Structure 1
Amino acid sequence: MTVVILAETTMRTEKTACILCSRNCGLLVDIEDGKFTKIRGDEDHPLSQGYICQKAARLNYYQNNEDRLEHPLKRQTDGSYTRISWDDALAEIASRLLNIRTQYGGEAFATAGGGGQGNHLGGAYLGQMRAAMKSYYNYNSLGQEKTGDFWLNGRLFGSQACHTTEDVEHGDFVIFLGCNPFQSHGIPNARDTLKEIKKDPDRTMVVIDPRRTETAKSADIHLQLKPGTDVYLLSAMLSIIVRENLHDEAFLNEHCTGFDSVKEMLLNIPVDEYVAAADVPMEDVLKVARGFAQAESACVRADLGIQHSNHSTLNSYFEKLFFLITGQFGKKGCNNLHDSLIPILSDTDERNPKFKRSVHHGMFPVSGIFPPNILPDEILKAGDRRIRAMIVDSCNPAVTWPDATAHKKAFESLDLLVVVDVAMTETAQLADYVLPAASQFEKWEFTGFNMEFPKNGFHARHPLFPAKGETLQEAEIYTRLLEAMGEIPKRFPILSRIAKHEPQFSSHLGFIAALAATLATNKKQIRYGASILYRTLGPALGNDAASMAVLLPLTLSLAQKYPDAVRRAGHPGNKLTQGINLFKAILAARSGLIFSEHRFEDVWKLVKNPQQKITLEVPEMLEAMKKLKVDDLTSEQYPFILSAGERRSYNANQIYRNPQWRKVDHAGFMRMHPEDAERLDLTKGDRVKCHSETGSIEAVIEIDNSVRTGYLMMPHGYGSNYQKGSPNGPEINLITGLDHCDPIHRTPLHKSVPVNIEKLSA
């Protein structure tokens, strides 16, 4: 089903949301002749309330660029592409997938991607392809970012689907750990929130970061630690808290188990040695430890700076112990858990034998996700049981995943590679078939990154433009592919008839009953529920909203779990109708809405452990601490530590392909301390070659005293070969390695890459 909107030449104003980071701020956009002409914040949006950063103003570079795909393409033997019809493309892909499934089984197939930032709707339909192929291989970018955090959540809270959030807006004492919200956002209305904390004399802001970031410049205390030493600093501060009896005994006794083992570990921390290793003033360390523990309300906001750094799992463990042993949890201004409407996470604890591991590495999935670091080996080194076919959706791993050279080699060796995307990405340029998807503003879409507490919001974005050329939305692509494979019939006449002719007053109840009866008689079809809803209920929704039908069971489930929270958010009804009412409200709300409003005591209902207690004792972490020693990441061969992936004013995710969107920093410069530059006889603008164990890239030097000596920083989001030209900026993942990763869940250590620098001629 193609979304159809008549082209207009007159200017109109619409409501939508930004798609560049997890915040998805509400937008008011002026549209004329198929283009965004003005973009500003939507004051009616219940979460962002008119807030916007400068990046959103350039969304037209996403919507209209020369790399946009408009027709299905098939790769020829000489490497060129020719147009192919949708029917032929899907028939050929279906036939080849079925042959691979028959010959090699489900472990020969994997998916990569499935939506990112603001386009998670397509992921619900892509997941059906793994079911059809009997595969368990799901790779996506969360697997190289957050699975260490998810793994720990499983150990602490009883499920990897539990996820913590931070009430930065109301905390008296806030620690920003390995993050720079001024640039990377990640918190509500980031720059406004930072200003509010800074100007309030009764609130304290602490930044822990090797660079004096834009956020650090506003902080009361900046612990500018040595790169890769977070584990020493965090464990030392926790030891101080326990030694001085600043931990919350009452909270620990009521809500936690296993503290005695944790306390014993913390008391054995060599505080002086570890603070010296981090190279920060002891006086400031004491202030932060005592201030956080004694604050009325305190929280920690952590991000990739610790999750992509040396000892990343231990870093995240101590980050969470910080707010747990001090009792700064489950209260206003503290860290909390939250509900979720879109289940982007699952619970796949490796201790459960029913969850299969990868063939070559024997790696387990975390939250249903395998780490990209293992993918090339699972394709190239797993022998007869290797991955042979992949669908890559809304993802560009040939540029954005570790060791781009290895990933490209692996993709080129596949028997079948299908890419579904908006643009002709570097990964698409390796594919056998390239299937053009409608852009995020040409179809209904939403984000699954709804992480607020106590109020949580959701924004279903309406299409703003007609689809280009022959592009289709992912719901249609994967439903047609399942039909071509013979996994589902093309028609469900009874369900479609009920959905179309059901009386308005019954509010889909008749359809829901009929669907349940249908699936009860054919349980195999349950795995294809998204496409069945799309084909049956979808057309009856009107307004080209068929793909959104998949939301109905999710709103029903949420209302069953948290009826009081949904009711407080303004969605009435009984056990049968409340979820339906929420579903209808979501489709109607152009600026989004609040879908749940909890009380702070509800946090404990979100803990999945028995007696709803938090398990502080994580054996793997206690064992790792016994082996921990102060180590130096640098060497004579690699004397610098590089942070490979910094957020700046004019870099974003890979959906911006045209480099003209950047007003500044076109080269993606490398930050270097003046002393290091002087020692290497470098000045601003000089070109260097940056070498790691994996590879080398060229970079342009920027002299910057905000970084420590021996520490270098380069941005992500560059390296695309727009219009198949030369890469625009550093191809950062040519120097990040597959084995430079966390030993437990194999997330890459992008923030602590040992490198050396070679000066090139001017």
Structure 2
Amino acid sequence: MSQEVKSTCCYCGVGCGVLIRSEGGVIIGVRGDPDHPANRGRLCTKGASLHLTAQGHGRLLHPAWRPTREQPVQRSDWATALDLAAERFAAIIREHGPDAVAFYISGQLLTEDYYVFNKLAKGLIGTNNVDTNSRLCMSSAVAGYKQTLGADAPPCCYEDIAAAGTLLIAGANPALAHPIVFRQIEDARAANPAMRIIVVDPRRSETAAIADLHLAIRPGTDIALFNAMLHVLIAEDRIDRDYIAAHTDGFAPLAELVGECTPQWAAAICGVAAEDIVRAARWFAGSGPALSLYCQGLNQSAHGTHNNAAIIHLHLATGQIGKPGAGPFSLTGQPNAMGGREVGGLANLLSAHRDLANPAHRAEVAALWGIPSVPARPGKAAVDLFKALASGEIKAVWIACTNPAQSLPNQAAVRAGLARAEFVVLQETFADTDTAAYADLLLPATGWGEKEGTVTNSERRITRLRSAVPAPGEARHDWQIVVDFGRRLGQKLGNPTVDRLFPYKTAEAIFTEHVATTRGRDLDIGGLSYALLEQRGPQQWPFPEGATSGRQRLYANGRFPTADGRARFVAVRHQATVEQPDAARPLSLLSGRLRDQWHGMSRTGLVPRLFNLDDEPCLAMNGDDMRQRQLADGDLVRVSGARGDIVVRVVADAGLAAGRCWLPMHWGSRFMNSAGVNALVGDAVDPHSQQPELKHVAVEVAAAGLTYPLAAIRRCADVGEALRLLDAARTLLPGFAYASAGLYGRASPLVVWRAAAAAPVGADLLARIDDCLGLAGDSGAITYRDARRGIDKKAVVDDGRLRGVRLAGETAALAWLRQALAEGELDAALLRFALAPLATPPVSAPPRRIVCKCADVSDDQILAATAAGADLAGLQESLKCGTFCGGCMPDIKRLLSEQVQQHPEAA
């Protein structure tokens, strides 16, 4: 018998509610929770595919260890593994002190997991060396809120999107990174056609395409733009002087500074028209409530804190905060980065928004935990933590639920640090991440659908999660692993209070203690409990004891969580990106996200249909820049920076100005033969937030000179077979100057492998490729060889159907072969084209357009169903199109209308 359990999506910080359907201890389906306030039943492509990631492939199921780094992992048991970890950590702490160990954790952990990690490091061991991958995405937003408003507390809610008159979207592409928020933007625009949308982005992104005004500024010039907008507001007396006088400090020095920041001055710096800057300022102040949405484009900068402060200034100067439709709204990157911030899960924070630098706050936490003191010395933030591993200052690191060997900047240095570390523990759901190769001890943790606890989304809304299925193998909940390890470590360190520090038997006990730490703080949740969250659903904070609901918007009364209750203006000045283009590296490389992939793809990389739009890493580039370098669409190029180079395929993008290029951040060593874009990016950080400048690096792009292409496509019976073959295909990646491996699929899942070399490869290597892709042997094989031109092709046929193709020396037919194989059938009449050099499909294999990307439904499927009599409800029932995010509904209705016009008798 199947059952449904309420949970949330484990991807971005929108915090969408989901209903997980399971049967016999196995997750078999997922749908949006219509009662969850964040999404009201909608899901994006990633969320709609979550159940397809829960089938067990690649899971870490048992503790394992390596006697040496050169040896394969050996299975262990929990007692042995945790005793080993406790002994190694204890020995290092005794010899080198508590700051010789560190913990690097994740915004994908639950709040309860985060809480015990923080207590383990700061309360038991006595080190503040506990940081998180939220440092890479949200720490500048934290610091920006604290510098101006006094606390790390986004003051807005999702309902403000519908209430806004002007929407300023800066350094964010919610169409891809936060799709359900983007659906709300589309709904708001449809309901209020007068809404003004301003998008600030160096690239004409999918979000910029709907803007009334797109300010395609030069990378890193956000402060110049916002200061110039403030200049216009002041010069035209569009500010709220009464609000400024009553509720803020520091305006006069900032006003003097921006007096020099004219629109003409900013236009020269930003590369946009001065009149567009004036227009943006006037719309912000004069077109109804103004709401700002911003994310990594502002945060991932060496001056990210001040980027955030500069946009917040616009709200404070106009009194556009604490009101419906108004305020600075930082979009959270990860599903529980906010929860981690609530419990102090960064090297400079303590529980409940307390600051490590504040002696009173340290004393409060020590009293709450029942320990003599909390260490005063700041811990190492993420970038410095891995530098300290490389220098030997930190000897051991415990990594949980994150993949620094792919996500951190300056990958060569990060991997060198991991290699030098004396002891690396990886607490993970998946066994094959890039970081797993450096682990001495691997500990299996539960994943999505298996965990129980709470998360907090971008609008401060706390959701209670229940496990839908039991833990697989010997996997344990993250908090259970930490508590067990903490007790063992405390005993080895001779700490008599360790049992009092970690008394927890349930996640609820941890949440109850966390609640107690928040009482009287800005995020007071003294009125929340698991029971209340279960009965009344997700709730926003603050929710103090005695409250009947959480607070939708903060600062409506003009009081801020500062010493005097007043917000602060900060005199921020324009700063350039750390790396400036020059003659050797004249291009600005930007990094970003794709809609259908998440982080390093350890989870989304399990779903073939999530590769259907992008199945290899491609560099997007301005067409003029390509022509200057004699490059064409599809060429392989070498992208060179100060820290090395990578080889990828290039495509023209009309949305990029000359001098700019763009590369997704998801691909790492599991899907290509390098660490990806983060191999190029430098590790300079913001001095206030310690967040690295991941968004920008100066590069040069040139033809890679790899003129011998190779490719293989293999149709598989099911996803399990595809994933096993993908693992085999990955072993081929290091042998080529360019190589990528991924999936693709609709009716049939495919493995797609590509590579290139400078000269034809030998028969032995071709045989190895065939073997890895399941194309070995002569049975059912059709071959074509042209030794003079170095062409060697092979197609394998089973019962008249094409099983797969390996191409070497010429690969023009790759794209249409991939489509035909993905449809599950290849007409026997087309088999003769399998080895032909065809860049376009034969007439009998027309291209299909995917209309509903969430359910992977094409236009021809919809037309076939409507021809058979299906109406909208029938399409939704049979094909599931239009039942997830809703973004495809206009296209579906258009197709239905066309069908009625062509066949009115069927209407």
Normalization by structure 1: what TM-score?
0.80
1:275 corresponds in structure 2 to 267
Superposed CA deviations along residues 485-535 of structure 1, whole A, max 9, x for unmatched, are 245999xxxxxxxxxxxxxxxxxxxxxxxxxxxxxxx99569x65x31x23
Aligned CA RMSD, in angstroms, stands at 3.3
The 3 A distance-change label for structure 1 pair 199 and 673 is farther
2:668 corresponds in structure 1 to 719
Query: Does the 8 Å contact 1:274/1:630 carry over to 2?
Result: no
The alignment status of 1:445 with 2:453, answered yes or no, reads yes
Unaligned runs of 5+ in 1: 1-9, 357-364, 491-521, 536-545, 567-577
By how many angstroms is 1:15 displaced?
2.8
The 3 A distance-change label for structure 1 pair 241 and 336 is closer
1:482 corresponds in structure 2 to 486
1:473 to 474, 477, 485: 477
The alignment status of 1:146 with 2:146, answered yes or no, reads no
Alpha-carbon separation, structure 2, partners of 1:39 and 1:678: 46
The 3 A distance-change label for structure 1 pair 413 and 754 is same
Query: Following superposition of structure 1 onto structure 2, how do residues 25-64 of structure 1 map, counting pairs within 5 Å?
Result: 25-32=16-23, 35-64=26-55
SS at match of 2:455: coil
Alpha-carbon separation, structure 1, partners of 2:153 and 2:422: 37
The 3 A distance-change label for structure 1 pair 730 and 377 is closer
By how many angstroms is 1:579 displaced?
3.3
Unaligned runs of 5+ in 2: 331-336, 363-374, 544-548, 708-907
1:682 corresponds in structure 2 to 631
By how many angstroms is 1:199 displaced?
5.1
By how many angstroms is 1:270 displaced?
4.3
Query: Does the 8 Å contact 1:483/1:489 carry over to 2?
Result: no
By how many angstroms is 1:305 displaced?
0.9
Query: Following superposition of structure 1 onto structure 2, how do residues 510-589 of structure 1 map, counting pairs within 5 Å?
Result: 529=501, 531-532=502-503, 534-535=504-505, 546-555=506-515, 579=527, 582-587=529-534
By how many angstroms is 1:597 displaced?
2.9
Q: How many residue pairs align between the two structures? A: 666
Alpha-carbon separation, structure 2, partners of 1:477 and 1:730: 30
The alignment status of 1:176 with 2:169, answered yes or no, reads yes
By how many angstroms is 1:189 displaced?
3.8
Alpha-carbon separation, structure 2, partners of 1:396 and 1:645: 17
1:610 corresponds in structure 2 to 563
The alignment status of 1:299 with 2:299, answered yes or no, reads no
1:230 corresponds in structure 2 to 222
The 3 A distance-change label for structure 1 pair 413 and 631 is closer
By how many angstroms is 1:593 displaced?
4.8
Q: Which amino acid in structure 2 is aligned with residue 389 of structure 1?
A: A
Query: Does the 8 Å contact 2:201/2:215 carry over to 1?
Result: yes
The alignment status of 1:755 with 2:759, answered yes or no, reads no
Query: Does the 8 Å contact 1:75/1:432 carry over to 2?
Result: yes
Query: Does the 8 Å contact 1:375/1:407 carry over to 2?
Result: no
Superposed CA deviations along residues 24-61 of structure 1, whole A, max 9, x for unmatched, are 21112333465544332111213321121111122235
Alpha-carbon separation, structure 2, partners of 1:65 and 1:406: 32
Q: Which amino acid in structure 2 is aligned with residue 663 of structure 1?
A: N
The alignment status of 1:403 with 2:410, answered yes or no, reads yes
Q: Which amino acid in structure 2 is aligned with residue 586 of structure 1?
A: L
Superposed CA deviations along residues 214-270 of structure 1, whole A, max 9, x for unmatched, are 211111111122223222222211111112222110110010011111111111224
Alpha-carbon separation, structure 2, partners of 1:31 and 1:417: 35
The alignment status of 1:76 with 2:67, answered yes or no, reads yes
Superposed CA deviations along residues 563-607 of structure 1, whole A, max 9, x for unmatched, are 9x98xxxxxxxxxxx737x43122456x64566433757545872
The 3 A distance-change label for structure 1 pair 228 and 602 is closer
The alignment status of 1:461 with 2:465, answered yes or no, reads yes
Q: Which amino acid in structure 2 is aligned with residue 327 of structure 1?
A: G
Identity %: 23
Alpha-carbon separation, structure 2, partners of 1:750 and 1:165: 27
SS at match of 1:110: strand
The 3 A distance-change label for structure 1 pair 631 and 554 is closer
Q: Give the stretch that moved more between structures: 674-683 or 647-656.
A: 647-656
The 3 A distance-change label for structure 1 pair 556 and 749 is closer
Alpha-carbon separation, structure 2, partners of 1:685 and 1:199: 41
By how many angstroms is 1:714 displaced?
1.0
Query: Does the 8 Å contact 2:20/2:449 carry over to 1?
Result: no
Superposed CA deviations along residues 679-720 of structure 1, whole A, max 9, x for unmatched, are 222222211111111121111112110121211111122215
The 3 A distance-change label for structure 1 pair 168 and 196 is closer
Superposed CA deviations along residues 526-567 of structure 1, whole A, max 9, x for unmatched, are 9x65x31x23xxxxxxxxxx222211234456676699x98x
Superposed CA deviations along residues 70-125 of structure 1, whole A, max 9, x for unmatched, are 11001122321101111111111111111111111111011001x32463432122
1:738 corresponds in structure 2 to 683
Query: Following superposition of structure 1 onto structure 2, how do residues 295-444 of structure 1 map, counting pairs within 5 Å?
Result: 295-309=287-301, 311-335=303-327, 343-345=342-344, 346=349, 370-381=380-391, 386-424=393-431, 425-444=433-452
2:207 corresponds in structure 1 to 215
Alpha-carbon separation, structure 1, partners of 2:7 and 2:581: 47
Alpha-carbon separation, structure 2, partners of 1:548 and 1:728: 44
The 3 A distance-change label for structure 1 pair 178 and 116 is same
Alpha-carbon separation, structure 1, partners of 2:463 and 2:355: 31
Alpha-carbon separation, structure 1, partners of 2:220 and 2:329: 28
2:587 to 628, 640, 644: 640
The 3 A distance-change label for structure 1 pair 289 and 138 is same
By how many angstroms is 1:735 displaced?
1.0
Q: Which amino acid in structure 2 is aligned with residue 168 of structure 1?
A: I
SS at match of 2:21: strand
1:196 to 176, 188, 204: 188
The 3 A distance-change label for structure 1 pair 487 and 123 is farther
Query: Does the 8 Å contact 1:392/1:420 carry over to 2?
Result: yes
Q: Give the stretch that moved more between structures: 691-700 or 438-447.
A: 438-447
